[in-house]
Structure 1
């Protein structure tokens, strides 16, 4: 369900560079072992937990697996915080079929309700005291995708050849974690090149995903 996006809101506040004390990273806050289990590459050169599209696909694979196990979305959400092992154990031990009815540690017990609260606030922020105008909303920047299936000796030089600098390369491709990419296996990576005409807020075309977010509709 589209509403599961609010799980990312409570996990990372939609910060694509979020990193926790538990070494969870990215918008969906995967720890390295879970990220690798769901197909994400994590090493000193590449960390796909910071790749928004790939990490979101991995999160969806987790949700589908958990839904098949539990049959209800509240238990899926609880397991994302507490782990499938713990939720399954407590469902059996407490004789329940939904995490709503479980006695759990406070963080996990609150998690499902934080998800619902975030949905309510973000779908109608003015009702809860958030009065934003369209010029306060972050705007998506149009990018061109370039396939890279070869080693990159120097990302800074690569960026210059593609009309941007290293800072901009890292800004729009946070999964790049080093100044080079050995890529010994010839894997194909998608690199986003931002459109220069949209890098300045003054020249960006305003697009509002949800008209309820702003007061100047």
Structure 2
């Protein structure tokens, strides 16, 4: 009898505690909903906003009591790459683009930086592609390769915007040694990449295949075509990285061409721009690039910022001549009279 009473008391106590917790939670949730409604989500929390409704294809914004925003992006029935219309009726293809769109549209910090850097470099890259008769959609390829980071280096020692291996770079005319590595030169590496892309197009006859081959290499791509007795990237069974590669390229193209439709609102003044440059042609060996930089009114840091292909503090000139960019931005000029206090 006593045991039954103790059991009943214990059950009632649990129920009362549970009821109190529930009531407390309801009061807390109600206050949070009121805060969200009023935009009072704390000093460190953004106020709740909704995406403009007048943009075609604007993502659906989902609100939660805590003010968290997530969205889904409508996936089109077809996409365009270098003038070719690509149907996404096949579920596999549609889901591969779906993945890349949502990864990049929701990886906010990374995609914001891509958009900011694009303003600095894409006009130059696009001009070089046009001059070499390569479709300008390939300007998005260095974005997915390196994030437009000049010093990018992969675990396999592919470097620069276009992530060129040493042997490939030399095959396409770049100088690579201890003092000079033109894979880090955005202009010269783009010119070398154009040679690769045109050679791949002559082999595969299709720009989609060319784009995919950039990830796996011409020989590797050709071998898989032969092994699987097909002629299209879209019919190929591939490793995950290469399977995702082309659709990552298309997703980045879609976001870069219309960032507002994917929730990215970046003021033009917040984007990165190139300064004006003075071009210095170097025909003789420079023993000290630090002094060279100071002579031309910039610090060694600024000299290397715009000439990342200079790998040592000296430059030996034998047969080649070199062009060094000197920033003319007043805020980047070197002032030797300013001393750092002890």
Q: Give me the TM-score of the superposition, normalised by structure 1.
A: 0.89
Q: Please list every run of 5 or more consecutive structure 2 residues that lacks an aligned counterpart in the other structure.
A: 1-134, 334-342
Distance, in Å, in 1 between the alignment partners of 2:235 and 2:330 is 52
- Counterpart selection for 1:120 from 254, 269, 293: 254
Distance, in Å, in 2 between the alignment partners of 1:150 and 1:100 is 52
Q: Once superposed, what is the RMSD of the aligned Cα atoms? A: 1.2
* Offset at residue 198 of structure 1 (A): 6.2
* Offset at residue 101 of structure 1 (A): 1.3
Pair 1:182 & 2:316 matched = yes
Distance, in Å, in 1 between the alignment partners of 2:231 and 2:149 is 33
Query: C-alpha offsets along residues 125-162 of structure 1, whole Å, 9 cap, x if unaligned?
Result: 11111111122101111101111121110101111111
- Cα separation, partners in 2 of 1:198 and 1:4, compared to 1, 3 Å: farther
Q: Is the 1:141–1:198 contact (alpha carbons within 8 Å) kept by the matching residues of 2?
A: no
- Greater RCO, CA 8 A, separation 6+: 1
Number of equivalences: 199
Paired position in structure 1 for 2:264: 130
After superposition, residues 1-217 of structure 1 pair within 5 angstroms as: 1-185=135-319, 187-197=320-330, 199=332
Q: Is the 2:275–2:328 contact (alpha carbons within 8 Å) kept by the matching residues of 1?
A: yes
- Cα separation, partners in 2 of 1:126 and 1:188, compared to 1, 3 Å: same
* Offset at residue 15 of structure 1 (A): 0.9
Q: Please list every run of 5 or more consecutive structure 1 residues that lacks an aligned counterpart in the other structure.
A: 201-217
Distance, in Å, in 1 between the alignment partners of 2:277 and 2:308 is 14
* Offset at residue 197 of structure 1 (A): 2.9
Q: Is the 2:201–2:210 contact (alpha carbons within 8 Å) kept by the matching residues of 1?
A: yes
Distance, in Å, in 2 between the alignment partners of 1:198 and 1:2 is 33
Greater than 6 Å deviation, 4+ residue runs: none
Query: C-alpha offsets along residues 106-125 of structure 1, whole Å, 9 cap, x if unaligned?
Result: 10111011110000001011
